[in-house]
Chain A
Amino acid sequence: MRAAVVVFPGTNCERDTVRALRALGGEAELVWHKETDLSDFDGVVLPGGFAHGDALRTGAIARLSPAMKAVAGMAGEGRPVLGICNGFQVLCESGLLPGAFIANRDLSFICRYVEVEVADTDSMLTAGLTAGQVLRIPLNSYEGNWVDPSRQGRVVLRYVGDPNGSQDRAAAVANDAGNVVGIMPHPERATESVLGSTDGQRLLGGFLAALDRPTIGHR
């Protein structure tokens, strides 16, 4: 079971993500965004960064990359698709998750550990966790303020407190089936005790487990 970690021009968290997945026993490979065929992979991560320099809007150009057609295909097949930070923004721009992002309420680039609580365990990311469980992971973003006028998004992780104004205090949002999840904080940066927390392992572990059972959460 292998995960693709897609690299757009301006992505900068791909190596951290691959390292974290491999440390958990997963197989993960970097894939350039021009790749059209992801059939060798069982799931995909869109990592953090600044794809295409955030031109126009965060994720707006990355959505058009050739790899995104294959990502949409995997999402439709029920395979796990995880967007972290900028990857979450790309998933919203692609329409694979509802909503969009605006600047943080206080216009600050937030770069600190935050606490998030599990709001919904019916997603590949949160399946192994308990509702109400609190995790500590770093938030590193300027446009992390999720807005969803349609109210279709299913919040699976909620900030404890309200760091950025995100609707329903959403830190992570899933599609109906639970196989596509976007998370604004960075679980891959909380996977070794020297980094200050290992709580991100619980989340990435959920992604890796879903590679083996790609239809998890279908309802």
Chain B
Amino acid sequence: MKVTVNITRRPEIADPHGLTVGRALHDLGYGTVRSVRIDRTIHLDVTGEDAAEVTASVSEMCARLLANPVLEDFEVVIG
């Protein structure tokens, strides 16, 4: 089963990469850009037929390794 994990840095935590890209977009003339945040997506292929079970298992992986609970939130999407 294909699983996508979206890991997002919490809004209150600075994102120096996003700030730099935002400045670059302004330099290119895109003054409409208010902010840029760069997050991470992890793609997994996991054995199992039951979407709820797979979601629970991958959520545990996020809590234990894939996401840093100090900085990040995560969302597990089947597919």
**Chain A residues within CB distance 8 Å of chain B:** 56-57, 60, 64, 92-93, 98-100, 102-107, 145, 147-150, 165
Contact = CB atoms under 8 A, between A and B. Distances in A.
A8 to B, nearest CB: 16
B51 interface: no
Contacts of A147: 13-14, 70-71
A148 B16 CA distance: 16
Contacts of B66: 56
A57 B70 contact: no
B41 interface: no
B68 A107 contact: no
Interface of B: 9-10, 12-17, 20, 65-66, 68, 70-71
B15 to A, nearest CB: 8
Given A92-B70, A149-B12, 14 more contacts: A56-B65, A57-B68, A60-B68, A64-B65, A93-B68, A99-B70, A100-B71, A102-B13, A102-B71, A107-B16, A147-B13, A147-B70, A150-B70, A165-B16
Nearest to B70: A100
Consensus secondary structure, chain B interface: loop
A156 to B, nearest CB: 19
A149 B68 contact: no
Contacts of A57: 68
Contacts of B65: 56, 60, 64
A57 B15 CA distance: 14
B18 to A, nearest CB: 10
A217 B20 CA distance: 42
15 contacts: A60-B68, A64-B65, A100-B68, A102-B13, A102-B14, A103-B16, A103-B17, A107-B20, A147-B13, A147-B71, A148-B70, A149-B10, A149-B12, A165-B14, A165-B16
A92 B17 CA distance: 21
A203 B9 CA distance: 34
Nearest to A106: B16
